[in-house]
Amino acid sequence: MSANEQEQSTRVEFDSYEDAVERLEQIIDRLDSGQAGLRETLALCREGRELVTYCAGELDAVGAGLKELKLDELAEKLADETR
């Protein structure tokens, strides 16, 4: 396996919390099976850590404090951000 291929196989690709958790569960199942070789185990652990970091970030994003906006306030906020 070339370094490039390895990078591709371990690149974390997901776009939602549920995708990330699903992949994480697959990884842990694979590790628990004891069938993964050393190289695969380490790659899976690295990917798993990235997934955990991502998921924790997502949870933190909805953990800071409940924000209430009115619709026009949201629209204003978005306009400010794109400015």
* Binding-site ranges for another protein (CB under 8 A): 16-18, 21, 24-25, 27-28, 31-32, 36-42, 44-45, 48-49, 52, 55-56, 58-59, 61-71, 74-75, 78
Q: Which of 29, 31, 10, 12 is nearest to 20 (CA)?
A: 12
- 50 by Cβ neighbours in 10 Å (0-12 / 13-18 / 19+) ranks as middle
Instruction: State the nearest-atom distance from the C-beta of 4 to another protein, in Å.
Output: 18
Residue 3 or residue 66: which is nearer to another protein going by CB?
Answer: 66
Q: Which of 63, 65, 25 is nearest to 47 (CA)?
A: 25
Vertex 38: Cα angle to 19 and 27 (nearest 5): 15
Residue 8 or residue 78: which is nearer to another protein going by CB?
Answer: 78
Instruction: State the nearest-atom distance from the C-beta of 76 to another protein, in Å.
Output: 12
Instruction: State the nearest-atom distance from the C-beta of 56 to another protein, in Å.
Output: 6
